Amino acid sequence: MTKIRTAVFPVAGLGTRFLPATKAMPKEMLTVVDKPVIQYVVDEAREAGIEHFIFVTGRNKTVIADHFDVQFELEATLSERGKTAELDALRADLPKPGQYSFTRQQEPLGLGHAVWCARHLINDNPFALLLPDMLMPWEPGCLAQMVDMYEQTGGNIISVEEVEKDQVCKYGIVGVGEDVGDGFRVNSMIEKPKPEAAPSNLFISGRYILQPEIMELLGSHERGAGNEIQLTDAMIRLSKEVPFYGYRFPGRSFDCGSKTGFLAANVYYALRRPDIEPEFREILKTVI
Q: What is the pLDDT of residue 7?
A: 97
CA distance 176 to 200: 7
| pLDDT tens for each residue of the chain, 288 residues long | 789 999 999 999 888 899 999 988 999 999 999 999 999 999 999 999 999 999 999 888 889 999 988 888 988 998 889 998 888 888 887 888 889 999 999 888 889 999 999 999 998 899 999 999 999 999 999 999 999 999 999 999 999 999 998 888 888 899 999 998 779 999 988 888 899 888 999 999 999 999 999 999 998 887 777 678 889 889 999 988 899 999 999 998 999 999 999 999 999 999 999 999 999 999 999 998
Cβ atoms within 10 Å, residue 20 = 7
Strands of 11-106 (E only): list them: 31-32, 35-36, 52-57, 100-104
Report residue 29: phi and psi, to 5°. Answer: -100, 0
Residue 192 confidence (pLDDT): 85
Q: How much is the pLDDT for 60? A: 81
Q: What is the CATH T-level fold of the domain 6-156+204-287, as seen in this structure? A: Spore Coat Polysaccharide Biosynthesis Protein SpsA; Chain A (3.90.550)
Nearest partner of 173 among 150, 154, 146, 195, judged by Cα: 195
pLDDT of residue 55: 96
Query: So where are the chain's domains?
Result: 6-156+204-287
Query: What does 238-287 look like in DSSP terms, one character per residue?
Result: HTTTS-EEEEE--S--EETTSHHHHHHHHHHHHTT-TTTHHHHHHHHHHH
pLDDT of amino acid 129: 98
- Given a contact cutoff of 8 angstroms between Cβ atoms, the answer to whether 206 and 253 are in contact is yes
pLDDT on residue 59: 83
Cβ atoms 53, 7 nearer than 8 A:
yes
Question: What is the pLDDT, as a whole number, of residue 230?
Answer: 87
- Write phi, then psi, for 285 (nearest 5 degrees): -60, -40
Name the nearest CA neighbour of 56 among 100, 10, 112: 10
Q: If you write DSSP's letter for every residue of 69-82 in order, what string do you get?
A: S--HHHHHHHHHTT
pLDDT at 172: 87
In DSSP terms, 124 is beta-bridged to: none
Cα–Cα dist 140/103, whole Å: 29
In contact, 104 and 65? CB cutoff 8 Å: no
